[in-house]
Homo-oligomer: A and B are copies of this chain.
Amino acid sequence: MIAIAVHGGAGRWDEAERDAAVAGVRGAAAAGWQVLETGGTSLDAVTAAVMVLEDDPLFNAGTGSVLNAEGDAELDAGIMAGDVLTAGGVACIRRVRNPVLVARRVMEATDCVLLAGAEAERFARDQGFADHDPVTERRRARWRAARARQAGERLVPGTVGAVALDRGGRLAAATSTGGRELKRPGRIGDSPVPGAGNYATAQAAVSATGWGEFMLRMATAKAIATRIESGEPPASAAASVLAEMARSFGAPIGVICLDARGAVGIVHGTEGMPHAWRTGDDDDFNARFAA
């Protein structure tokens, strides 16, 4: 059994952008699926899927990320291989094209799990990642308008994530984001942190999206993985933790998750979340905005 699921971020998507967002996650799932179908690893599949969305300026990750309080894009990304429990993450990195690739290099080429800020960018350059400005004119214009009306920090949808199961039975997860618009510089969200917005074990893979601080406080992805490991179906595990977070914080989130048999769990609040998935049981991709 092989399986992949991809999300493009929970929250208030503009009506006009929903179809494009669903097409985007479908394309990302197809990129990951191709890796799996040709015998590649789940780690390569989630990397491929997330790269597609980081490169798509519609999403709030990589190119097209939102800008912080000072008008800079600060990007967070995390990746994890479930079979060996290895993880890598970069936080507040500014000028790279694909943060998920840098996170993967942290995982594969260092003794670290998490690298932050200017030093993370220095690491990326040492590893050969070219200088890249992720800021788009559209995000710049929106930021200017938000500043002009003295808007506060704002959750902009478009965090991206992927979970996959490969033929070897290995699970992996990856998540990437620009975080919140007008966020405080130096703020780290849940996406790069194993157990918060991203997690994978031998039996579960999870990628979450929403107000990152709530995920950090709940250790949301770990909580969902623990439930899946104890035998709860992924959809039920995700729904249970989503309900717990709604009780604790009143916070809607979105989650995609997988177990080692390829069962898919996709849950989100009422505002929707573009998502796509496919397993060995499906003839084609499933792709939609709301459940």
Contact = CB atoms under 8 A, between A and B. Distances in A.
Contact of A213 (B112, B186, B189): B112
A226 interface: yes
How many copies altogether? 2
B186 A118 contact: yes
A188 B218 contact: no
Given A86-B217, A217-B86, A187 B222 contact: no
B117 A92 contact: yes
A118 to B, nearest CB: 7
B194 A219 contact: yes
Contacts of A110: 184
Given A184-B112, A186-B119, A195 B219 contact: yes
Contacts of A185: 119, 122
A259 to B, nearest CB: 18
Interface in A164-204: 183-189, 193-196, 199
Contacts of A184: 110-112, 115, 119, 123
B219 A199 contact: yes
Interface in A84-117: 85-87, 91-92, 110-117
Contacts of A87: 216-217
9 contacts: A80-B217, A111-B153, A112-B187, A114-B189, A114-B193, A115-B184, A118-B118, A195-B216, A195-B219
A113 B219 CA distance: 12
A248 interface: yes
A122 B186 CA distance: 10
Contacts of A183: 112
Given A116-B116, A117-B117, A119-B187, 10 more contacts: A87-B217, A91-B188, A113-B212, A114-B189, A122-B185, A193-B216, A195-B195, A199-B219, A219-B219, A226-B226
